[in-house]
Amino acid sequence: MEPKEQEQTVGTGGSGGKSDSPDTHIRIDAHIRSNTYIRIKLCGLSRVCDIEAANELKPDYIGFVFAPGSRRYVPPCRARELKEMLLPGIQTVGVFVREAPEVIAGLLDDGIIDLAQLHGGEDEDYIHRLRELTDRPVIKAFRIDSEEDIRAAEASSADYILLDSGSGGTGTAFDWKLLSDMKRPYFLAGGLDPDNAGEAVRRLKPCGVDVSSGIETEGQKDKSKMAAFVHAVRKEERL
């Protein structure tokens, strides 16, 4: 899943203190854990035809990438236009890499996005600062290379956590065996595609799945792959 710069820790000052709402993720995770429904996020949408496909497929979330260095980058003005075309029941997630918290809060308050996904190594101080500016949900992405990364994800004060491959954005998966002792619900990303999405849901039982490059052909979203991915996930839910 988007973008690649998670290794650098980012804060807003201080010594890594917890958010004022340390129990927020416990409350939300408990809701997820009681629900067998698998949430689907189609990330990196940037064209009108992508939104039209999403409206047909009805994922839970679609993602706009606000990292300027990404080939999937969309400026806020374009994201607003696309959001207006989206069915009301589909939520929009903004993906950010080391963005100023004030910018993220502004996009949330303006209704351009419904949730913020932090993908640049942002630390607990950063999350704390963002929570001071907005009460909208925060997804924190973690690059999973080791059991230490798993422990860090479990301890995050973010509302949701997303586990991605260490190479980030290249469509490669991390070692799923690292998730054998995972205690907290999570969104699974990294290397997912229509061919392995069903297996991932069946084996790992994540609370949600996130895909970007796995539903593309030649760097553009492919409606047939988007449909196949959604079908693969929903099929496992019915089994």
Q: 210 in a domain, yes or no?
A: yes
Number of domains in the chain: 1
Distances (CA, A) of 102 to 83, 105, 130: 21, 5, 7
4 lies in some domain: no
The strand pair at 187-188 and 216-217 is best described as: unpaired
Q: Is residue 90 situated within a structural domain?
A: yes
Q: What is the pLDDT of residue 236?
A: 87
pTM score: 0.85
* Domain membership flag for residue 19: no
What pLDDT score was predicted for residue 175? 87
| Phi, psi for residue 39 in degrees, rounded to 5 | -80, 140
Residue 7 lies in a domain: no
The pLDDT value recorded for residue 173 is 80
**Cα dihedral 91→1→233→177 (10° resolution):** -130
Domain presence at residue 229: yes
Encoded tokens for 92 = 């929009």
Domain that holds residue 87: 24-238
Does residue 157 form part of some domain?
Answer: yes
> pLDDT per residue over 101-127, tens digit each?
999 999 999 999 999 999 988 999 999
pLDDT in the model for residue 102: 98
Point out the catalytic residue in the list 50, 149, 164, 210.
164
Say if 176 falls within a structural domain.
yes
CATH at residue 76? 3.20.20.70
Chunked into runs of 10 residues, the chain (239 residues) has average pLDDT values of: 46 40 44 70 98 98 95 97 97 96 98 96 96 97 93 96 73 85 93 95 95 96 98 86
Active site residue 43: yes
From the candidates 29, 43, 125, 159, give the one annotated as an active-site residue: 43
